[in-house]
Chains A and B, each alone.
Chain A
Amino acid sequence: MPFAGIDVGSLTAQAVLIEDGRTPLLKTIGVRLLYKSISVKPNPLDSARTVMGELLDEHGLSWGDITYCVSTGYGRDKVQNEGLAQENISEISCHGTGAFSTAPRVRTIIDIGGQDAKVIRVSEAGDLDNFVMNDKCAAGTGRFLEVMSRTLGISFQDLGPLAIKARSRIELSSRCSIFAETEVLHFLQKGYDKAELAAGICKSMADRVMALVRRVGTEPEVMMTGGVAKNIAVRSELERMLGQHMLSSNIDPQIMGAYGAAVLAQRSGGGS
């Protein structure tokens, strides 16, 4: 019987099922919350039901088959209150646990999600040692990359690959997402190269994240999780600034929070 983790974030929702801790039988489905629509209110419960419901269906399972479920992410308490999970745990602990479970050598986790950036330090035993989170600002989060991709007229997924094709990059001077957008528009109107702008955007993102990393310090090994970990340009820029390679997890970095939740569900629910 599987243990489950549900991570309802600001932009995507993930569901993970694990059996006996070692074999992730999993699947991720990104359910976009409704931030682009102003007429509908995002409902984390719908996201949780949909993402886990579809996952269960695909594997011929039902909600009743879940032994224990932990919810995490912004909608974590609502998901638990609705009875979809037995417990809710912060995404900070879940990302820490998830990353440590996939690579016990990891001590520092850089998690960049849709509206949060976190640097998490874990001990040799995998316990949460310390963490810092970004201030109330979209710069340095997935939202920044999304807004910038839209400004460039490309998809979010294409931003990283486009950026690494650039032979040089345009430095963005603004530290604010809103003003950076104006700045990018200005460069576009002047006919600057999109790839060079994409490189500048990813560099600016990495700069913001490094500011956070310095506050808590890094201890090797370092792993990057969250949706932005999939952006190859941000990732390589961070590696360059850190002066070290980051560990790659053997699962999709975007589901790390949900995976950590499932691992914690297994601990709470009496699994091995």
Chain B
Amino acid sequence: MSSVTVGTAMQEVIDHSEVVENEFVKKWKEGGGKVVGYTCVFTPPEIIDAAGLFPYRIRALGNPNTEIADSHLARFNCSFCRSCLQLGLDGTYDFLDGLVESNGCDHIRGMYENWQYVKPVSFFHYVKAPHVITDDSMDYYREELRLFMKALEEHFKVEITDEALKSSMEKQEEIKERLRTIYEMREGKNPAFTGAEALSLFLLASAVPDEEFIRMADAAIEERKGSSVSGYRARLMLAGAATDELELVRAVEAVGGLVVTDALCYGLRAFYSPLDLEGDPVEAMADVYMKDMLCPRMYEEYAKRRDFILGKIEDASVDGVVVMHNKFCDVHGVDNVQIRLDLEKRNIPVLALEKEYGSRADVGRIRTRVQAFLERIGG
């Protein structure tokens, strides 16, 4: 089911995307470089990059263990956040020189603050993003970005110039262009990448130096030109909570549901909107990372999220949508109900999945539901 020949270029991407501390991170550290970790899409990696630091997007890669994290976060905290905290505390993320906290949700705040409380890193900064978009809130967020820059400058004894920011933004745009090309290639009539492969490419983009990602992505794109995935029963869209679970997408695709697009923050939501490279860098970043983030934490922006999903369903000829959230995820738990109702109203088949993050025991249940969903939509 859902198969395509994996060549050496794609295999290289997959291999590097499946480890937290990949060899490029190691090399960067060996050369004396510093790495700063972040999670939420409203933390501009350009700023970290412009400070001469390596921006690394924190991930848990489906890690099912949370025993150390459970001493600090409760069982009713989102299991993705607990999994990330576990990796922070068990030494997996010892290569990080800094953490950028964000108020994406209260669970992720708990993750950061417990991490810093139990095992402090030398640089810890909290970027606060407003929950509404108004002139005042945009001013506030731009000010937050400037404070973030100042904190980096002071701690790492560097200067973030406008030139450096612009250059980082250009590099980030080059990365995003690759990701957009990859998504176009999977959304087309003959998808050239599986959803799991697209996720591997996405994860790699925020875990290796820019030039390494561009090299590997270009090779994978070249390798897949003219190829198409075969053997799938239906074209699915994955929407909902943050997930970097390659195994989950593989499980969905193993029963024949090819994930041709998504509306995920470890996915399309993070790169669909292009940066304006001409104007003021802080203005440009604020416009993309605040106004276009499509996260359900932005309570008033529901219509924009819904329309984004509806547009993507059209673009990618989606047969059915899987909306998922981790147990106890408040923001997506609420948003997914509204999304499901809105899709059902338009007779778009939708499967709502509540799951535990990274639990292998959950894969069987998910497979059964997805398979039944495919049988239902006639895939």
Task: Report which A residues bind B (CB closer than 8 A).
Answer: 74, 77, 89-93, 116, 127-131, 133, 135-136
Contacts and interface: CB of A to CB of B under 8 A. Distances in A.
A196 B354 CA distance: 35
Contacts of B189: none
Contacts of B355: 136
Nearest to A131: B372
A255 B145 CA distance: 62
Interface in B350-379: 354-356, 362, 364-365, 367-369, 371-372, 375-376
Contacts of A127: 376
B368 A91 contact: yes
Given A135-B354, A136-B327, A136-B356, A90 B365 contact: no
Nearest to B370: A90
Contact of B376 (A74, A77, A128, A133): A128
Question: Interface extent on B, as a size class?
Answer: 10 to 19
Interface in B277-297: none
A92 B375 contact: yes
A128 B368 CA distance: 14
Contacts of B364: 74
A130 B364 CA distance: 20
A93 B365 contact: no
Contacts, number: 39
A131 B327 CA distance: 20
A130 B340 CA distance: 13
A136 B366 CA distance: 10
Nearest to B254: A77
22 contacts: A74-B368, A89-B371, A89-B375, A90-B375, A91-B372, A92-B368, A92-B369, A92-B372, A92-B375, A93-B375, A116-B368, A128-B372, A128-B375, A128-B376, A129-B376, A130-B376, A131-B372, A131-B376, A133-B365, A135-B354, A136-B356, A136-B362
Contacts of B367: 77
A63 to B, nearest CB: 25
Please list the 7 inter-chain residue pairs (A to B) with the smallest Cβ-Cβ separation, ordered nearest first: A92-B372, A90-B372, A90-B371, A128-B376, A93-B375, A90-B368, A135-B354
A52 B355 CA distance: 34
Contacts of B371: 89-90
Nearest to B351: A131
Interface of B: 327, 354-356, 362, 364-365, 367-369, 371-372, 375-376
Give the dominant DSSP class at B's interface: helix
Nearest to A95: B372
Contacts of A128: 372, 375-376
Contacts of A90: 368, 371-372, 375
B362 A133 contact: no
A136 B355 CA distance: 8
Contact of A133 (B356, B368, B375): B368
Contacts of A131: 372, 376
Nearest to B356: A136
A91 B367 CA distance: 11
Nearest to B369: A133
A21 B93 CA distance: 60
A97 to B, nearest CB: 10
A130 B375 CA distance: 10
A97 B222 CA distance: 46
Q: Which of B355, B365, B368, B369 has the most CB of A within 10 A?
A: B368
Contacts of A133: 365, 368-369
A93 B356 contact: no
Given A133-B368, A135-B327, 9 more contacts: A74-B368, A77-B367, A91-B372, A92-B368, A92-B372, A93-B372, A136-B327, A136-B355, A136-B362
B24 to A, nearest CB: 37
Nearest to B364: A74
Contacts of B369: 92, 133
Contacts of B356: 136
A135 B371 CA distance: 17
Nearest to A97: B375
A130 to B, nearest CB: 7
A74 B375 CA distance: 16
B162 to A, nearest CB: 51
Nearest to B349: A130
Contacts of A91: 368, 372
Contacts of A129: 376
B272 to A, nearest CB: 31
B65 to A, nearest CB: 17
Contacts of B327: 135-136
A89 B362 CA distance: 19
A87 B74 CA distance: 43
Nearest to A118: B372
Contacts of B354: 135-136
A129 B349 CA distance: 10
A41 to B, nearest CB: 14
A135 B364 CA distance: 13
Q: Which of B355, B371, B372 has the most CB of A within 10 A?
A: B372
Contacts of B362: 136
Nearest to B371: A90
A72 B371 CA distance: 11
B339 to A, nearest CB: 16
Contacts of B376: 93, 127-131
Nearest to B361: A136
A89 B364 CA distance: 14
Nearest to A75: B364
